[in-house]
A and B are shown apart, each in its own frame.
Chain A
Amino acid sequence: MTQFLIRRIFWAIFLFLVATIITYLIFWVIPADPAALAAGKSATPADVARVRHYLHLDEPIWRQYLRFLWNLVGHQQLGNSFVTRQSVNHIIGQDAPVTASLVFGGAIFWLSLSIPVGILSALRPRSILDRVSMSFVLVGISAHPVWIGLILSYLIGYRLHITPIVGYCNFFPGGIGVQCSGPVQWAYHLLLPWITFMILFAALYVRLVRANVMETMSEDYVRTARAKGASESRVMIQHVLRNSLLPVVTILGMDLGLALGGAIFTESIFNLPGLGHEVINAYNTADLPTITGIVVFATVCVIVFNFIVDVTYGFLDPRIRPS
């Protein structure tokens, strides 16, 4: 187990370095001058040079990158935004809970829908339920989350007045400038974003669960369990679901990381002040520290999720424990 952990940690460090280097290089290739943007519309070359020096943009890229690494490792600082000059740590600290609310809440929604529907479809292939769920899959995969979000907010939020059209409330009461807070308002405001998220991912998971369950049900050990007189619920829970849901755990771990990317659309449509929204704004203003900070954070999240998946996998299936 120790060897496994050490290997994973080294792999994580490698991934982290690659992700940040690529981000830096991409930014370097983009033909934008953050110093000119920050200096304002009437700045003289001397002003721009002064701002460039102030932002350390007059240094070679490798030195900027090393400065970034040193600040991160030595001081746990991701730097300051070029545009608002806020600490990127603070920005991420403010935005990450919003994105986490969306992603984890959305995951609960999509799993709550896709697992039962997928199982029912597998148990009754080509039934009406199966056909309806497969149609849902087709729509969910084909429709863009922006379109889904706009339609939902128009119909449910604007026409029916059931939910807010956009907006976010903190889960915990209080906070700076908070207008609404508490678990109930939090869930109420996130309902449509969760459903938007759910439709996209549930479509994929229904198909995955359905295929896995159907495949597992035809396995020899399921037939053997039935032959030994095991009850149907025991067969389903102990033999079919346990095995057929293993790939779901794997995919879920990866999708939670990918969902950070998908959150960009959902957060933009529903005005959720999360990381996705932040990274779009940062891109539009060539705000390298913010972009890099969010990339680093997302990289760490993906690495952590994958690690959790690896460990969970071992618990679910003793055959693949690291030892």
Chain B
Amino acid sequence: MRRKQYLSLFMLVLGVALLVAATTVGAATSATQKASKSGIKKGGTLKLNENAEDFDFVDPQLAYRTDDWAMLYTTAMQLVSFPEKTGAAGSQLYPQAATSFPTVSKDGKTYTFHIRPGLRFSDGSPVTAAAFQRSWERILSPKMGSPLGVNLDLQDAIVGGTAFLAGKAAHISGIKAKGLTLSFHLTKPNATFVSILSMQWFTAVKPNTPYDDKGINVYPAAGPYYIKARNPGHSTVLARNPFYKGNRPANPDQIVFTPNVDIDQSLLQVKAGQSDLDIGGVPATAAADLAKTYGVNKGRFFVGATSCVNYMAMNNARAPFNNVNLRKAVNWAIDRPAQVRLLGAFAGKRTDQMLVPGIPGYHPFTAYAIKGADVAKAKQVGGSAIASAPTLNVIHTPTATSTNRAQIAEFNLKQVGFKINDVPTPATNYYQVIQTRGTSYNFVTNGGWCADYFDPFDYLNVLFDGSKLQAANNNNYAYFNNASFNAQLAHAASLSGAARAKAYQKLDQELMVKYAPVVPYLISTNRYFTASRVKNWIYSSYFGSPYFNALAVG
């Protein structure tokens, strides 16, 4: 019988041998990986994970997502930008490639920048005004198929933009680049123009950068880093720009992004030192334990504010929420602390206003029950209209968190007497449903907004200017449309400086106290955990992430 088993034993031994060989190799490699050093100095490779997604584009004129921009910031050289500083100082624009803020003509329509001499791309070529002209042309060129510029009506903002977008002109006539002087001729005064330029779209690109609707992956950049290699879905590698001579930090020799990592596995990797940081954050369930073990903002577990406000929207265009008292009643009824707890420890700060800290015009106030639902007050404010209200279609995506959020909100609404119809909707279709005018939803639980640029216009005008309502793709999915408020928004947008901030502060408060079109409940934070070797954490609330170029692993 023994001889019968030779074959099977041989295969068993072969399998075991393969296992042993592989694990031996593993042990040797692990030992090598553990031999890293700590301390704040330049050098090393910063290994970053990105859970559940990859950059969709790294072409600065096609990229739009927050993670895209946080990465591109390390490669970017912009006319104006944010400094690598924590807190309020980090949200103050400074002239980066420009020698100073622009000079503005008396009619407010011509902005002139002077570019600092000596700036160079990573291939050694000089940065001139033409580099910034090209970024505008790549944003608006029909050959790029980029929807981004027109989303903000940039073609209407700049003289010649519309003709260029239509393919009727080789260049945008309103942008003049001569040597190191760059001028923009606007169609009308625009107080947000300099803020708009802080977006990553307007980074310097070489004047001969091609129009490519698929986007470019590897190209010379003028910031502290450039993209050395990019294999979508696999990895993105940044290397230090050898020609960058500015003051911005450039600590790691290389920054490597690994996308699409499972969030729980990613945390294990960081704990084990196999990765330095997950730029998508930590699992909500892990935050409390990490804080207990490592403390908050004391070296490894970090909590940072974002520019994002989470809110629930009521459909102001249809019954019952065309009744302002019912909208206010809902603001009293929603249990904000419960919604925040749902997102785990350190998820953010409760709020009942739309502007967030750091945005000009932000001034904290409390108009509703932000310490918990006040059912009695909600019933009192809503009165008999609650009982006669039609059944509410409550729409949410079917993920676990969204479903839980909706369940809590529905419980709160039922407490005050509303009748509920729960409508889970796939994420691929969700925004299409809620952003189409005439939609049948009454209450949407997955709302939120993060700053494109640090200006109250990007919150209040973009989200609540009813004069901009269109057939589909509305950011104003509360369908709030009040002529008086629209006029005030337009007026505030035309102001500048302190007057502008004051006007928006008033509008932020008036929006919620007088009209209550939505239920803001959270100014969210991001939670990060780093490997023990990571030093020099400087956090940007604009990107909601650390400045990757400042992190040190050497």
Contacts and interface: CB of A to CB of B under 8 A. Distances in A.
A83 B7 contact: no
Contacts of B234: 94, 176-177, 273
Nearest to A119: B8
Interface string A226-244: 0000011100110001000
A44 B473 contact: yes
Interface stretch (B85-93, B123-131, B269-277, B312-320): B269-277
Contact of B30 (A45, A161, A284): A161
Contact of B261 (A48, A113, A163, A166): A166
B473 A36 contact: yes
Contacts of B264: 150
Nearest to B264: A150
Contacts of B268: 153-154, 157-158, 165
A47 B431 CA distance: 16
Interface stretch (B21-29, B285-293, B479-487): B21-29
A36 B214 contact: no
B261 A86 contact: no
Nearest to A110: B15
Interface stretch (B95-103, B421-429, B514-522, B529-537): B421-429
Nearest to A240: B4
Contacts of B265: 150, 153, 165-166, 269-271
A94 B7 contact: no
Interface in B1-17: 1, 3-12, 14-15
A45 B18 contact: no
Q: What DSSP secondary structure best describes chain A's contact surface? A: helix
Interface string B47-59: 0000001101100
Contact of B14 (A95, A112, A241): A112
A184 B21 CA distance: 9
A167 B258 CA distance: 9
A91 interface: yes
Contacts of A123: 1, 4-5
Nearest to A166: B265
A164 B27 CA distance: 10
B9 A116 contact: yes
Interface in A147-169: 150, 153-154, 157-158, 161-167
A157 B433 CA distance: 43
Interface centre among A115, A116, A162, by most chain B C-beta atoms within 10 angstroms, is A116
A52 B413 CA distance: 39
Interface centre among A116, A165, A177, A232, by most chain B C-beta atoms within 10 angstroms, is A177
Interface in A255-279: 268-271, 273, 277-278
- Contact residues on A (Cβ < 8 Å of other chain), bracket: 35 or more
A198 to B, nearest CB: 9
Interface centre among A30, A85, A86, A284, by most chain B C-beta atoms within 10 angstroms, is A85
B471 interface: yes
Interface residues of B, number: 76
Contact of B64 (A40, A150, A153): A40
Contacts of A51: 145, 147
B432 interface: yes
Interface string A119-131: 1100100000000
Given A123-B5, A153-B265, A185 B272 contact: no
A194 B27 CA distance: 18
Interface centre among B7, B27, B272, B428, by most chain A C-beta atoms within 10 angstroms, is B428
B428 A37 contact: yes
Contacts of A163: 22-23, 26
Interface in B418-462: 426-429, 431-433, 435, 462
B84 interface: no
A185 B29 contact: yes
Interface string A204-226: 00000000000000000000000
A33 interface: yes
Interface string B458-478: 000010000000111101000
A117 interface: yes
Given A271-B261, A271-B262, A187 B22 contact: yes
Interface stretch (B148-156, B191-199, B488-496, B498-506): B148-156
B76 interface: no
Contacts of B5: 119-120, 123
B314 to A, nearest CB: 20
B415 interface: no
Contacts of A85: 62, 145, 213-215
B176 interface: no
B19 interface: yes
B229 interface: yes
B232 interface: yes
Given A47-B151, A191-B26, A91 B233 contact: yes
A259 B387 CA distance: 55
Contact of A284 (B64, B427, B475): B427
A44 B462 CA distance: 12
Interface centre among A161, A162, A278, A285, by most chain B C-beta atoms within 10 angstroms, is A161
B230 interface: yes
A80 B271 CA distance: 38
B43 to A, nearest CB: 17
A179 interface: yes
B256 interface: yes
A117 B12 contact: yes
A41 interface: yes
Given A43-B147, A48-B473, A177 B428 contact: no
A115 B11 contact: yes
A54 B214 CA distance: 12
B4 A179 contact: no
A70 interface: no
B258 A40 contact: no
Contacts of B147: 38-40, 43, 47, 50-51
A103 B19 CA distance: 17
Contact of B57 (A84, A177, A178): A84
Contact of A36 (B10, B427, B472): B472
Contacts of B222: none
Contacts of A38: 147
23 contacts: A30-B428, A36-B432, A42-B473, A43-B151, A83-B56, A85-B62, A87-B214, A116-B9, A116-B12, A119-B8, A120-B5, A120-B8, A123-B1, A153-B268, A165-B269, A166-B261, A176-B230, A177-B230, A187-B25, A233-B6, A281-B233, A281-B260, A284-B428
Give me the 5 closest cross-chain CB pairs, A-B, nearest first: A116-B8, A177-B229, A32-B428, A112-B15, A42-B151
Interface of A: 30-33, 36-45, 47-48, 50-51, 54, 80, 83-87, 91, 94-95, 109, 112-113, 115-117, 119-120, 123, 150, 153-154, 157-158, 161-167, 175-179, 184-185, 187-188, 191, 231-233, 236-237, 241, 268-271, 273, 277-278, 281, 284-286
Interface of B: 1, 3-12, 14-15, 18-19, 21-23, 25-27, 29-30, 53-54, 56-57, 62, 64, 145, 147-148, 150-152, 213-215, 228-237, 256, 258-262, 264-266, 268-269, 271-272, 274, 426-429, 431-433, 435, 462, 470-473, 475
Given A39-B147, A87-B214, A153-B265, 4 more contacts: A32-B428, A36-B472, A116-B7, A285-B428
